[in-house]
């Protein structure tokens, strides 16, 4: 709206300002065993405006790498990976990831 009525701003993520990104947002529908991060991920234009900043892009890259490593180690195709396994791999690597308080998954 031109005059700004109806717009609102919301704080997301709680006290640490972290929010979740679903693993499926990094898996392209039309490609097998591929992962994307940053601007190539599936998101609305509003969400993408915040997700294309460096910290989320780095976190998505780390998550894509962890998912690719699990798939390469025989855990299945990237589209079939269980997000809990990717989350566990991220936690072992020192990432800020955990159910209810996570950057990824």
Q: What is the pLDDT along the chain (105 residues), one digit of tens a residue?
A: 445 566 555 555 556 556 678 888 888 888 888 998 888 887 887 777 777 788 888 888 999 999 999 999 987 788 888 888 888 898 888 887 655 444 444
> Would you say 63 and 105 are in contact if contact means Cβ atoms under 8 Å apart?
yes
How high is the pLDDT of residue 1?
A: 42
How high is the pLDDT of residue 79?
A: 86
> Would you say 68 and 61 are in contact if contact means Cβ atoms under 8 Å apart?
no
How high is the pLDDT of residue 103?
A: 45
Beta-carbon contacts of residue 47 (< 8 Å; ≥ 6 apart) = none
CA angle 47, 48, 53 (to 5 degrees): 115
User: Rounded CA gap, 89 and 37, in Å?
Assistant: 17
Max Cα-Cα span within the chain: 55
DSSP state of 86: H
């Amino acid at each position: 709206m031109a005059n700004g009525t109806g717009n609102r701003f919301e704080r997301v993520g709680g006290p640490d300002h972290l929010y979740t990104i679903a693993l499926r947002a990094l898996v392209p529908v039309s490609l097998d065993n591929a992962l994307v991060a940053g601007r190539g991920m599936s998101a609305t234009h509003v969400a993408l405006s915040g997700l294309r900043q460096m910290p989320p892009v780095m976190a998505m890259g780390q998550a894509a790498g962890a998912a690719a490593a699990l798939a390469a180690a025989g855990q299945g195709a990237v589209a079939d990976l269980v997000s809990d396994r990717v989350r566990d791999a991220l936690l072992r690597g020192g990432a800020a990831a955990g159910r209810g308080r996570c950057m990824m998954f």
